[in-house]
């Protein structure tokens, strides 16, 4: 847990993992099937089949698998059509938000807290989604050159320690009254070490209480 801070601030920082936490599905895999043809997916999937098999056998880590999968599926793809599909996909993802976690997010916003999605998934569709939700975003960012998706990232895969480090680089925690963290896997544990209050999907039964600001006449 994060050490108690001496601050006059009343705003909290609320950090939400996305896939499996705020969103009920694996948004990255579903985006591949949403944006690309089945023929392309099969053709490129065969090329990395040994890594896919190793991943499902828990012999190849998820962050490395995401990098290899993104490169295989999106390398040298023109940006404009993917960008448009990503915006449409973001709209669809609004229908796959966990009702309980989404309500918690709205409570934070109602209180005036700073709300941030912190995700290993990619900015192509998370940026328009963050705009729809009116929240800030820390995520894996894809490399684009001359309107072409190169297949690489401009940031490390935003999971585990990277989540924690990028939060600390972007926000001074001393400027917030409390830090809330919501996650669902071991990739969120380092970020949860920053929390005054946290919620792990599948383990914790009750969401953290959000104390509302007192209104003065």
pLDDT at residue number 214: 57
Predicted confidence (pLDDT) at residue 7 exceeds the cutoff of 60 = no
Q: Is 66 domain-assigned?
A: yes
User: Do the bridges between strand 136-140 and strand 114-122 make them parallel or antiparallel, or are there none, so unpaired?
Assistant: parallel
Q: Is 6 domain-assigned?
A: no
Q: What is the mean pLDDT of residues 14-21?
A: 98
Nearest CA to 101 among 132, 133, 127? 133
> pLDDT tens digits, residue range 141-176?
999 999 999 999 999 999 999 999 999 999 999 999
Q: Is 7 domain-assigned?
A: no
Q: Where are the alpha helices (DSSP H) in 79-160?
A: 79-93, 99-111, 123-133
pLDDT, the chain, mean: 95
Q: Is 143 domain-assigned?
A: yes
| CATH number of the domain where residue 20 is located | 3.40.50.1000
Q: Is 123 domain-assigned?
A: yes
Q: How many residues does the chain have?
A: 217
Residue range(s) defining the domain that contains residue 80: 13-200
| Predicted TM-score (pTM) of this structure | 0.93
The two three-digit tokens of residue 10, written as one number: 């009343």
Predicted confidence (pLDDT) at residue 4 exceeds the cutoff of 60 = no
Q: Is 89 domain-assigned?
A: yes
Q: Is 214 domain-assigned?
A: no
Predicted confidence (pLDDT) at residue 216 exceeds the cutoff of 80 = no
Total domains in the fold of the chain? 1
Q: Is 206 domain-assigned?
A: no
């Amino acid at each position: 847990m994060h050490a108690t801070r001496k601050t006059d601030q009343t705003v909290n920082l609320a950090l939400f993992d996305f896939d499996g936490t705020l969103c009920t599905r694996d948004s990255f895999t579903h985006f591949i099937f949403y944006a690309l043809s089945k023929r392309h997916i099969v053709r490129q999937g065969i090329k990395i089949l040994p890594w896919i098999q190793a991943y499902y056998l828990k012999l190849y880590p998820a962050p490395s698998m995401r990098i290899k999968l993104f490169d295989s599926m999106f390398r040298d793809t023109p940006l404009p059509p993917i960008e448009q599909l990503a915006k449409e996909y973001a709209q669809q993802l609004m229908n796959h938000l966990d009702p309980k976690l989404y309500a918690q997010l709205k409570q934070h916003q109602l209180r005036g807290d700073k709300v941030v999605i912190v995700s290993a998934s990619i900015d192509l569709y998370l940026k328009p989604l963050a705009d729809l939700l009116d929240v800030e975003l820390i995520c894996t960012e894809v490399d684009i050159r001359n309107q072409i998706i190169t297949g690489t990232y401009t940031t490390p895969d935003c999971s585990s320690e990277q989540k924690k480090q990028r939060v600390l680089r972007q926000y001074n925690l001393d400027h917030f009254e409390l830090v809330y963290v919501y996650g669902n896997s071991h990739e969120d544990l380092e970020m949860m070490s920053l929390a005054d209050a946290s919620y792990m999907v599948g383990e914790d039964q009750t969401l953290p209480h959000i104390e509302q600001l007192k209104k003065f006449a």
